[in-house]
């Protein structure tokens, strides 16, 4: 085979790798221990886990801290509400989504601090019954306030239902099934159902193998682009009532990992549906470039050896 044909074949193989690699699903499980590094002592930390699971709080990959005591700004509220209601394409910036939310009446102003009334308007069109609409609120208070609407309906629907989620199975986890394509399924009281790519888990470890024998007290399913319903939120509160859930090394807060140089999020922390801003496939591209360089160098070496 000639040198040009060898090089062409190598490039084709590398391109095939670039196309195939991102398609391999890898489950990244998120709980209160590895979501943010500053919510360990926050009373609403479980609500924060829930709310990031449905994009009422949009996880920011560049900020490992939630900053619970900071006041919620109107621009952040606009971005979160705009993302929740899927305003704009996935390639829109935070500023663009915030502006679209403003243009669509989800919020009346992007300047200053948000109030309870602003939150009510952004998510419920002002239909929630509240007594302190003019009061400003911190990000922690926002999580507490919105967490109450996970179960309390406004105009007949809870936040989970507004987000398009369906109530999932409950019961004992009998088996964890991992397939060759890295997708994971749970056997729950005889029912087999796929786990989402970035599920939120309450009162349980991020190691799914430890769930066998535990009881899921509540779960919610999201629909993927392919039309498959997958488990996105799993609540093990009943199972964990008498069990202490110790964080694993991947679950430790960011500040406790700085000395040992461990990524607190165990890799890209992304949702595969609307909301969490999807980053480029940088690791795959870097590997592809390295492969091209290595293959090219190898082919050149072989060619030079033949000439000697």
Structure confidence at residue 23 (pLDDT): 42
Please choose, from the candidates 88, 42, 37, the residue with its C-alpha nearest in 3D space to the C-alpha of residue 60: 37
* HSE, side-chain direction, 13 A CA sphere, residue 57: 32
Q: How far apart are CA 4 and CA 6, in angstroms?
A: 5
Q: Could you tell me which residues are beta bridge partners of residue 154? A: 157
pLDDT of residue 160: 95
Per-residue pLDDT of the chain (308 residues; tens, 9 = 90+): 565 555 555 554 545 444 444 444 467 899 999 999 999 999 999 999 999 999 999 988 777 899 999 999 999 999 999 999 999 888 899 999 999 999 999 999 999 999 999 999 999 999 999 999 999 999 999 999 999 999 999 999 999 999 999 999 999 999 999 998 889 999 998 999 999 999 999 999 999 999 999 999 999 999 998 899 999 999 998 744 444 444 444 544 444 333 323 333 333 333 334 444 443 344 445 565 666 666 666 666 666 666 65
The sign of the torsion formed by the CA atoms of 252, 48, 160, 80 equals negative
Distance of CA 153 to the CA centre of its chain: 24
pLDDT (0 to 100) of residue 181: 85
Structure tokens at 300: 């050149």
The domain ranges of the chain are 3-20+282-307
Burial grade of 267 (CB within 10 A; 0-12, 13-18, 19 or more): exposed
pTM over 0.75: no
- Residue 15 CA, chain-centre distance (Å), reads 28
Supply the pLDDT for residue 263.
32
pLDDT value, residue 272? 35
């Amino acid at each position: 085979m000639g040198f040009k044909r060898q090089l062409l074949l190598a490039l084709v193989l590398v391109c095939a790798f670039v196309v195939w690699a991102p398609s391999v699903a890898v489950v990244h499980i998120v709980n209160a221990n590895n979501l943010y590094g500053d919510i360990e002592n926050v009373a609403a930390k479980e609500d924060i886990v829930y709310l990031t699971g449905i994009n009422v709080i949009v996880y920011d990959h560049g900020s490992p801290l939630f900053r619970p005591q900071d006041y919620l700004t109107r621009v952040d509220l606009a971005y979160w509400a705009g993302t929740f209601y899927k305003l704009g394409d996935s390639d829109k910036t935070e500023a663009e989504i915030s502006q679209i939310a403003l243009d669509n009446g989800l919020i009346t102003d992007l300047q200053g601090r948000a109030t309870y009334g602003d939150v009510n308007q952004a998510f419920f069109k002002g239909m929630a019954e509240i007594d302190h609409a003019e009061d400003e609120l911190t990000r922690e208070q926002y999580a507490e306030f919105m967490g109450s609407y996970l179960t309390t309906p406004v105009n007949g629907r809870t936040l989970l239902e507004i987000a398009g989620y369906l109530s999932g199975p409950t019961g004992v986890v009998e088996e964890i099934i991992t397939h060759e394509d890295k997708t994971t399924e749970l056997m729950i009281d005889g029912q087999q159902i796929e786990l989402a790519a970035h599920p939120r888990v309450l009162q349980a470890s991020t190691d799914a193998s430890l769930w066998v024998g535990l009881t899921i007290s509540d779960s919610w399913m999201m629909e993927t682009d392919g039309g498959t319903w997958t488990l996105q939120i799993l609540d093990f509160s009943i199972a964990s009532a008498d069990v202490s859930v110790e964080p694993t090394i991947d679950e430790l807060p960011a500040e406790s990992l700085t000395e040992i140089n461990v990524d607190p999020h165990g890799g890209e922390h992304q949702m595969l549906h609307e909301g969490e801003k999807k980053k480029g496939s940088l690791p795959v591209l870097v590997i592809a470039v390295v492969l091209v360089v290595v293959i090219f160098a190898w082919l050149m070496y072989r060619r030079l050896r033949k000439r000697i």
